[in-house]
Amino acid sequence: MMELNLHEKCPLCGSTDIRKKFKKASFTLDRCDNCTILFVKNILTKEEINRVYEEVFDHGAYDESNVEGLNFYYERLKKEIDQQCQNGGSILDIGCSAGQFLDVMQGWDRHGVEISDRYAAIARDKYGENIFSGNIEDYPLESGPFDVITLQDVFDHFTDPVSVLAKCRHLLKPNGHIFIKVHNIGCLFAKLTQSNFYAIIPPVHLFFFNVKSLSHLLENSGFSVGGHKFIPHILKLRTVFYRLAGESQESFYFKIYKALRGTFIGDKIYIRKNLHDIVTMYAQKNDAALTMSGSGEPTNSRDQLSPSRSVGT
């Protein structure tokens, strides 16, 4: 019989105020009453994690056919970054995949970290030695410091988000910026669908954030949260029906998906979606935090960022 290792307290804030929320497949999901994070209570072994990554890279959303959908989001994020950091500089994209986001960040000194050798090789063709193939944990600190770090669609995967943020802090310049994009389980869609919400896929995702839990974690990790946005996405019409079908190939939606596949309407018509199911939070490295060196100058980094707001509907 395999030994079951379970988190006995919240892996993000350390509170023991945790209680069972869902059971999904063979995993237990607990919620922390202190910071509101929902997390996979089971502690995975390195082998289990590696197996998950291999499966994810076999059928990711990063194929060529999804380029337009990704770019729609990336262009908007770039605008956001350019607004916050008007002098440009250096950027590190953690989980950079084949470098699609770096591709839109023209004018920046572009760096990336990618765990999949296959994707990292594609990115390295474009950005050479600036692409590191491996874990963020193994990324050399000497590669920094950076003006901006981005984490998109990777932060829900980490086994230890606290140590990832500590590493990011070391890799950032004073007052450096961080942008994190995650699924938002605080949205109405997630509340209605509960454990069937499409992002609740343990052990591919290990943490399930909302605006409160993500800002709580950032503030506790030495960052000042500047705000968050619900940047809209676009999906191919056929993908909308594919998602609606869930896992059922018998469903009416799946029949529509099959009918649309390969047709002009199914492939070329895009639906703009903003269910607030994806949130992008931005924060600045707070250099006064985590040091107990007297009163000093208060950091006004918060004032340099525009207030929290959401765009689009």
Q: Of 32 and 149, which CB lies nearer to Zn ion in the complex structure?
A: 32
Q: Of 34 and 310, which CB lies nearer to Zn ion in the complex structure?
A: 34
Distance of closest approach, residue 37 Cβ to Zn ion, in angstroms: 5
- DSSP per position, 44-87: PPHHHHHHHHHHHHHS-S-SGGGHHHHHHHHHHHHHHHHHH-TT
**Binding track, positions 7-46, relative to Zn ion; x by CB under 5 A:** ---x-xx-x----------------x-xx-----------
**Binding track, positions 149-178, relative to Zn ion; x by CB under 5 A:** ------------------------------
Q: Of 12 and 240, which CB lies nearer to Zn ion in the complex structure?
A: 12
β-strand 90-94 against 109-114: which pairing, if any? parallel
Of 79, 133, 123, the closest CA to residue 100 belongs to 123
Give yes or no for residue 220 binding Zn ion (CB under 5 A): no
Of 289, 300, 301, 175, the closest CA to residue 221 belongs to 289
Is the bond preceding 203 in cis, omega lying within 30 degrees of 0?
A: yes
Q: Of 37 and 283, which CB lies nearer to Zn ion in the complex structure?
A: 37
Distance of closest approach, residue 43 Cβ to Zn ion, in angstroms: 16
Q: Of 10 and 200, which CB lies nearer to Zn ion in the complex structure?
A: 10
Ramachandran angles phi, psi of 183, nearest 5° = -70, 145
Q: Do the Cβ atoms of 142 and 125 come closer than 8 Å?
A: no
Q: Do the Cβ atoms of 164 and 182 come closer than 8 Å?
A: no
Distance of closest approach, residue 225 Cβ to Zn ion, in angstroms: 16
Distance of closest approach, residue 216 Cβ to Zn ion, in angstroms: 7
Binding residues (CB under 5 A) for Zn ion: these are 10, 12-13, 15, 32, 34-35
